Amino acid sequence: MKRQTFSTNQDELTDNLRRLGWSERFDRLAADENLDMSRMARVLSAQRDRFPVSDGRAQWLCTPSGRMRRPLGQDYPVTGDWVLVDETVIQRVLPRRNTLCRGEAGSRGRQEGASRREQPLAANIDTVFIVCGLDRDYNLRRIERYLALVYNCAMAPVIVLTKADLHESPATCRDEVENTALGVPVILTSTQGGLGVEALHAFLGAGQTVSMIGSSGAGKSSLANMLHGSDIQATAAVSQSVGKGCHTTTSREFIAMPRGGLLLDNPGIREIALSKDGDGLDATFADIRELADHCRFADCSHRHEPGCAVILAVDTGELSPARLENYRKMQREMSYVRARTEKSADCVEKERWKDVTMEIKRMNRRKQR
């Protein structure tokens, strides 16, 4: 698929890009660096080394330049990136406003679950829908982990509770989540009757970019179909024996909403490993942080110190013991992430070259087959 050529002026080029989420931030970047707007496009999907892109007028396939393919090359494109292209070749990824990322798969259980590598999922996202089904998927501790991940990535969360028709008291679950996710919008939805559609469309206006994250079987694809008004995503039933869903979504691809905005349906996440330092814990556990301000000791670990306001809140029933334990667990993970971030440049460089060597060995083995 080759790129079509159009004759348009600068304002028309920018207007077309704005429908895809182009913002004033990128206006300033383009002006400062005198970028050619006719070469600008957004990555709509990542399919190994093939990237469908769009400039708001047409879509075509691109491949990354040779510099991006090198182990120590430029940032490799991900879904949502703004890129400079020459015909069908991506030459550059523009600096990202934010990046939705998690720890690499398989990292849970190693060093308190903290990951050694980041796995970018998407870039330049306005809002993240944390999707949780009101069936066997419902879990407050998992929602807390998602919140910490989203906040660490400097994104705005919205919690979407799907399958409200399958629960005998969905409003009770909503209230419980609202008391856990302080200040975060919590929206009940159901494909039976379109419950919650209008509330979610408020986050999907023209030029807005929304990503969905959640477990397999949480109802993300069904939610995408309901918001679009047609069956654009394949769906599958949750296993009744183990209560787990199938990966019906296998790639990350933007869906253009009829009312405006782009929606990204991510594959289900089995492991929510934290990989990025930030204020995610403080934002997710604002109640614990507020209680900690009243502890007798400034460096209180909230375990056995006298005068600990956090432990007192647990004893009086004000704070859930499970919530405190989840906070402690993620605190240990973030300490590990922070320690890795603060390693000397020499250690980081050695690890990078170790990864390069392993990648070269893997390439050589594939060639020998």
Strand partners, 120: 101
* 106 contact partners, CB below 8 Å, separation of at least 6: 271
**Which pLDDT does position 307 carry in this prediction?**
95
Give the pLDDT band (50/70/90) at residue 68.
Answer: confident
CB 220 within 8 A of CB 249: yes
Q: What is the pLDDT of residues 20-48, one digit of tens each?
A: 999 999 999 999 999 999 999 999 998 88
* Alpha carbons 177 and 187: distance in angstroms, whole number: 10
**How much is the pLDDT for 358?**
80
Averaged pLDDT, 354-367: 78
Q: Each residue of 98-134: pLDDT tens digit?
A: 999 887 655 554 554 444 567 889 999 999 999 999 9
> Rounded to an integer, what distance in angstroms lies between the CA atom of residue 23 and that of residue 98?
13
Give the pLDDT of residue 169: 94
Say how far apart CA 41 and CA 52 lie, in whole Å: 10
Distance separating alpha carbons of residues 235 and 249, to the nearest angstrom: 8
Model-wide pTM > 0.75: yes
Query: 3-17, 40-54, 329-343: which range is least confident on average?
Result: 3-17
CATH entry 3.30.70 includes domain 10-93: no
Amino acid (one-letter) located at 131: V
Q: Is the dihedral of CA 74, 75, 79, 81 positive or negative?
A: negative
Which numeric CATH code is attached to 99-265? Answer: 3.40.50.300
pLDDT score for 49: 86
Residue 115, pLDDT score: 47
Q: Which residue has the tokens 């906070």?
A: 327
Q: What residue spans define the domains of the chain? A: 10-93, 99-265
Structure tokens that stand for 167 in this block: 């629960």
Identity at 200, one-letter amino acid code: L
Q: Where are the beta strands (DSSP E) in 139-214?
A: 156-162, 186-188, 209-214
